[in-house]
Structure 1
Amino acid sequence: MSRSDTDYGARAQAGGIAAVRSAGAFLNAFADHAGWRGVGATALVGAGAVLEGVGVLLLIPILGVVVPGGAPSAWRSWLNSMLSAVGATTPTVQLGVLLTAFLIVAVVRGGTLYARDIALARLQGGFVEALRNRTLATLAAAPWSRIVSLRHARITNLIGIEMQRIAASAQFVIQGGVALVLLIVQAALAFSLAPKFAAVAIVVLTIGAVALLGTFGRTRDLGGDVVRQSQAMMGSAATFLGGLKAAAAQNGQGRFVAEFAAIQSALKQRQIAYARRTARSRTVFGLGSALAGAAVVFGGVVSGVPPPVLIALILIFARMAAPAQQIQSATQNFFFSLPSFEAVRQLDLDLMREGSPTPAPILPPPGAVTLSDVRYLHPGGGGVKQASLTIHPGEFIGITGPSGAGKTTLVDLLIGLLAPQTGVMRIGGRPVDPAMLAGWREGIAYVPQDGFLFHDTVRRNLTWHDDAIDQARIDAAIRLAGAGPLIAGLPDGLETVIGERGAMLSGGERQRLALTRALIRQPRLLVLDEAANAIDAEGEAALLAHLAALDPRPTILMISHRAESMALCDRVITVERGLVTA
């Protein structure tokens, strides 16, 4: 055996082991979610399988009545005693009793299967819902330093496409589990009728299961390729949409389209490779099932099995083929979709590697915010090298400096998105701990340069953090931000839908709405990060004058490159090359 063959075998073995471990993690997560509801659903699955077996067994006495002398002697004596006990002594009455029993079993089985399917659907939907909610909660609670390093396309792909594939994985687990129970019950019935035939069937199924195990690793690898290509395609689409205006202005759309097409082609190739693997497995399984069925018929006739029993055996083995094939298909599909679950688990690990559960918020005491010898440097080297400053309640502070100097990092430290790598932050004289930091953020309103607006009404955009805000508070914030004329000019006022990211508004109008939303919060600290740079200089000066005249006034931190804006501040902090001069 060549070294390359040995390496391939080692990789395949390692891939198979990793696939089995990952499958175990998925099944544990699904079982933890299912709890007692899973026990109930399992009971319904088992009851449905048993009732189906009972229906098949009833065919033997029915055929024994229809074909006199066809049933085995043991069945005939038992059948006669049972039917005589209910007064059925003639063949016609016996057939009527047996058919009635068969129909009763069918009705009960139908009701059981209905309850089973509803219970399993709830388990599947609830599992994916809980996983999606947990992922979003993990994202919300993650350290900011982790969040900023993530690609948006990765999150969007996981929450959307990959969650759908996880739902499919859960469905495959359910389908495979139901099929396995049916297979076990059918095998037990076959064993009770013809032990030798059943033993042969079990051996064949075991051989098939062992052969199937060898394909898990490669199937999972193909699924992992699909996850990566899907994320790349989502990223390409997001980039295309984000840069569409610039691309259209420069006739550069072709490059975006070509890149997207290349990614989609690679994704299609992985899917075709998986389809080939699935088709081969299905073909082999179909041929094996046909050979097994022929062997059952031939062996039964040669060995002189009574016709009713032989017919029941043929029916049982025919019914065994369907769940066996379903197990094979569900298992292959499960391992193909498994990398989606792995991707979600990896995101959880990436987000919480440095994090811990957020404690209950504790409001910090009143007083100044101070930084003492604080340092925070990003992996690329930028950030704040040294900062010592004090900001008193109600101060209007300007922050200036060249791009990349560390202004945003300084603000992120002050609002608690970043924790100092060295040094101490205090509020009201007390060092900040996680609980106080959570309470501190309750009183912060942050307005970035590109204020976040979503596709909904103006009212929903202004009050998304608290739907219970009264109209008087909204009106006061609108007046203060100078957004009254803007809202009055909209077709439906506050009920006007403003489009995705506020597409129906100009840049300055979006900024006024973002500032209005911030003022509605009535914050203790108001942060304006180039929040009015799209408003003309005269309009910005009037807006800042209104903010400066507030009484009581929140502490205001403003990043701006306009000297006129800085002139309205109580004092200006300069940040240059990571050094803060207060």
Structure 2
Amino acid sequence: MKLMLGFFRGYPWQSTLMIVALLLSGAAEGIGLSALLPLLNIALGPEATGMLPGAEAASQSDFERIVLDTLAGIGIAPTLGNMLLIILGGVAFKSIFLLIGQRQVGYTAAQVSTDLRLQLLRVILRSKWEYFLHQPVGKLTNALASEAQRASTAFVNGATAITYLIQAIVYASVAFALSWQASLVGIAAGAIVIGLSHFLVQISRKAGLKQTRLMTSLMSNLTDTLQSVKPLKAMAREHLADQVLANDTNRLNKALRKQVISSALLSSGQELMFTGFICLGVFLAIDTFAIGLPVVMVLVVGLGRAFNFFGKVQKQYQKLAQGESAYWALLDSINAANSAEEHVGGSAEAKLEHSIQFENVGFSYDSHAVFEELSMDIDAGSLTTLVGPSGTGKTTIVDLTIGLLSPTSGRILLDGRPLQEVDLKQWRNLIGYVPQDTLLLHDSVLHNVTLGDPALRVEDAERALQAANAWGFISAMPDGINTVVGERGGKLSGGQRQRIAIARALVNRPRLLVLDEATSALDRESEEAVCQTMEALKGQLTILAISHNRALVQAADRVYKMQDGGARLQATEALSDLIK
């Protein structure tokens, strides 16, 4: 029950309320059950006790005398009606307290899944960029959706097991008070059944662990495949993706089958063995030990119900074992991301009033040098364009400028101050970033521009859309700025999506605008319009662009060509060679 202890430590007062309610529910059930023996003696009458030798003595057992003395002490006569009312009252109070306990279990389970999802999401967003790059999207999706839900369900199963355990102890206690010898034999028999069935719990645990691994693999492959459906179908190769997904799905199906069969075997096997032991006990009690019928009946009820609840405890524990691997896997992901937390630099304020300077900067990916001793200047208010073949480090320069990556050698200066001394969060608040692959939310144009920032108004979004030369087609739409763009912006053309992304970058009035191949999807007319916008923005903000488009290269104040592990400033007369 290590998992439950972890939950109890994480949610102390909720767990305390749950346990207290369940204990009170069990106590109420015990009070109702204690009236059962006097009730049977009253119902059967003296003539019934005379049928078997010693039955009269059995009807005056220590347990019954304690119950009758307690009732006499509080002024309740042991009549048929009073006994029935006590049983009814016990059931009523048990139901009330059980409702409170189960409600608390449900509320806590919902909070568990919510907290786990938020915790993982927050540590992932705070992690280093290098760590994030190595995490499959499908793995994170599976953790947030499936693993968090399975962990929450495991908590519910554990709490339900505790509920059944309390009820089992109540019934076993009543039986023990009647005949401790018979109860010890019954408990030993129950322990044998539980022990014989334990291997099925282990099978379920292994099946659950395999299910966790396979779900992670399946979700990772599924996410990658869905992002590649169009080219796969275009080349008639979708069957290759189907083979990969079918293999993972079939292996997952086998794990689920093991889980199902072990659960079914546990349920049917327990019922058969428990029933056999109860029948044997009744025979021995009446035929061999001549125990009175009322006592035997209460023992059967007490031990039978105790067996039933002990069996349910094991079944719930089996379900907990099936899902606990999801919780530990999710916890491992949280801890791994937390250990890779990004350090947000110093406390110096970022302004970008003069320049960004790279001084002999070197950077390596996995021991592979991207560039060495790179030096370049990006003047405030200027348009600087980076060109060069793929793999020469253009995007790496952007990531270093933003502070997502740190140089392995040299230093980056912001207005003459080393970037590691600057408050990176505050610095990034001054940056507008437009990636090559535009991702729009399935929401309105307004929400895609403002991202729901309460500090931004409709007027701010309109201003940004006009600056990105997008207001013309937006205003022509039936719902204007409130038009829903569809999944991933599917209702818009590539150029329209990219201009909305540019507006998103401009809406916060950034000091630095980064264009990472941001005009690559635009037609000639749109490209020229965006470039005119960039020229108009020069002097108002600093622009760093990665582009091979003629207009952005010609409009640039400086053009650096990336090659041979460095950046070379290009002369004006050489620009025509870069844009052929």
TM-score by length of 2: 0.90
Q: Show the counterpart of 2:10.
A: 33
Find the aligned partners of 1:252 and 1:528 in 2 and give their Cα distance: 34
Stretch of structure 1 that moved more, 108-117 or 134-143: 108-117
- Counterpart contact for 1:386–1:580, Cα < 8 Å: no
Find the aligned partners of 1:72 and 1:388 in 2 and give their Cα distance: 99
Q: Show the counterpart of 1:6.
A: none
- Counterpart contact for 2:200–2:266, Cα < 8 Å: no
Matched, 1:147 2:132: yes
Matched, 1:340 2:326: yes
For residue 72 of structure 1, the aligned residue among 43, 60, 79 is: 60
Q: Quick one: which amino acid aligns to residue 339 of structure 2?
A: R
Q: Show the counterpart of 1:437.
A: 424
Q: Which runs of 5+ in 1 are unaligned?
A: 1-22
1:350-429 aligned within 5 A: 350-355=336-341, 363-367=349-353, 368-379=355-366, 381=368, 383-429=370-416
Q: Quick one: which amino acid aligns to residue 303 of structure 1?
A: F
Q: Which runs of 5+ in 2 are unaligned?
A: 50-58, 570-580
- Counterpart contact for 2:30–2:90, Cα < 8 Å: no
Q: CA deviation at 1:65?
A: 1.6
Equivalent pairs counted in the alignment come to 556
Q: Show the counterpart of 2:470.
A: 483
Stretch of structure 1 that moved more, 469-478 or 364-373: 364-373
Distance 1:361 1:56, change over 3 A: farther
Matched, 1:258 2:235: no
Distance 1:201 1:580, change over 3 A: farther
Find the aligned partners of 1:84 and 1:327 in 2 and give their Cα distance: 37
Q: Show the counterpart of 1:199.
A: 184
1:102-121 aligned within 5 A: 102-121=87-106
Q: Show the counterpart of 1:513.
A: 500
Q: CA deviation at 1:508?
A: 0.5
Find the aligned partners of 1:448 and 1:498 in 2 and give their Cα distance: 18
Q: Percent identity?
A: 26
Q: Quick one: which amino acid aligns to residue 131 of structure 1?
A: L
For residue 205 of structure 2, the aligned residue among 220, 241, 245 is: 220
Distance 1:393 1:357, change over 3 A: closer
Find the aligned partners of 1:362 and 1:561 in 2 and give their Cα distance: 35
- Counterpart contact for 1:360–1:438, Cα < 8 Å: no
Q: CA RMSD in A?
A: 2.4
1:114-193 aligned within 5 A: 114-193=99-178
Q: Show the counterpart of 1:49.
A: 26
Find the aligned partners of 2:203 and 2:76 in 1 and give their Cα distance: 60
Q: Secondary structure, in 3 states, of the residue corresponding to 2:567?
A: strand
Find the aligned partners of 1:220 and 1:101 in 2 and give their Cα distance: 43
For residue 541 of structure 1, the aligned residue among 528, 533, 549 is: 528
Q: CA deviation at 1:436?
A: 0.8
Residue-by-residue CA offset, 1:325-359 (whole Å, 9 max, x unaligned): 22211222222222212221222243233325768
Q: CA deviation at 1:150?
A: 1.1
Q: CA deviation at 1:228?
A: 2.3
Q: Quick one: which amino acid aligns to residue 335 of structure 1?
A: A
Q: CA deviation at 1:115?
A: 0.9
Find the aligned partners of 1:532 and 1:167 in 2 and give their Cα distance: 46
Q: Secondary structure, in 3 states, of the residue corresponding to 2:215?
A: helix
- Counterpart contact for 1:63–1:308, Cα < 8 Å: yes
For residue 261 of structure 2, the aligned residue among 269, 276, 296 is: 276
Find the aligned partners of 1:88 and 1:281 in 2 and give their Cα distance: 45
Find the aligned partners of 1:500 and 1:76 in 2 and give their Cα distance: 72
Matched, 1:244 2:232: no
TM-score by length of 1: 0.89
Q: Show the counterpart of 1:295.
A: 280
Find the aligned partners of 1:102 and 1:359 in 2 and give their Cα distance: 68
Find the aligned partners of 1:84 and 1:213 in 2 and give their Cα distance: 46
- Counterpart contact for 1:362–1:438, Cα < 8 Å: no
Q: CA deviation at 1:513?
A: 0.5
Stretch of structure 1 that moved more, 218-227 or 184-193: 218-227
Find the aligned partners of 2:120 and 2:61 in 1 and give their Cα distance: 63
Q: Secondary structure, in 3 states, of the residue corresponding to 2:368?
A: coil
Find the aligned partners of 1:305 and 1:480 in 2 and give their Cα distance: 94
Q: Show the counterpart of 2:449.
A: 462
Find the aligned partners of 1:286 and 1:471 in 2 and give their Cα distance: 66
- Counterpart contact for 2:127–2:338, Cα < 8 Å: yes
Distance 1:223 1:383, change over 3 A: farther
Distance 1:121 1:388, change over 3 A: same
Distance 1:435 1:213, change over 3 A: farther
